[in-house]
Amino acid sequence: MVQTKAIQVCLAGIGGICRDHNKRFICCFSAGVGRNHAITAEVLAIRQALITARSMNFYNLVIESDNLTAINLLWGKTQSKPWRISNLLADCLQLARFFNEVSFQHNFREANAVADLLASDAATSQSPLMLRLSPSTCLSCHLYDNCTGSVFLR
């Protein structure tokens, strides 16, 4: 699951969490991405998820995003691509070729408070890319709530 925080053009952050097929934590990432539109930040998060998965030698991926526009662009369901993200979209599609299977799926933000938290913190701090192979105590609580079906409303 990837997540971004950006309202219009403002300081944005990306965050993502990688889990196995049993929803167990594998790793997570976050980064500040400067002043960006929400769609740009979202595609940056998807690209970072693909880069991270490739570096960890994963073969089959399900990438979830709460941005339906980004998902539709990656599936080719939207004909007009915003010029500012056309190269990022091409990067994502090129990276996807390295895997046996990649599925881009829409998921509501409430379904993953962890990625939302990572993106929010990164937007505020504008920290460089951070990859964590074990969750912090704070993330562990959110991971537990998420795996047990707790929903966090906006």
Whether this prediction's pTM lies above 0.85 is answered by yes
pLDDT band at 4 (very low <50, low <70, confident <90, very high): low
pLDDT band at 35 (very low <50, low <70, confident <90, very high): very high
Average pLDDT, integer, range 42-63: 96
* Residue 57: Cβ within 10 Å count: 6
Q: For the segment 82-92, what is each residue's pLDDT rounded down to a tens digit?
A: 888 999 999 99
* Burial category of 49 from C-beta neighbours within 10 Å (exposed 0-12, middle 13-18, buried 19 and up): buried
Give every strand in the sheet of 101-106, ordered side by side.
Answer: 101-106, 60-65, 2-5, 10-19, 25-36, 130-132
pLDDT band at 81 (very low <50, low <70, confident <90, very high): confident
> Is the C-alpha dihedral spanning 122, 58, 135, 133 positive or negative?
negative
More confident residue, 78 or 44: 44
User: Which CATH number does the domain 2-147 belong to among 1.20.120.1810, 3.30.420.10, 3.40.50.300, 3.40.630.10?
Assistant: 3.30.420.10
| Bridge-based pairing state of the strands 10-19 and 2-5 | antiparallel
Residue 146: its pLDDT value, please? Answer: 67
Q: Where are the domains of the chain?
A: 2-147
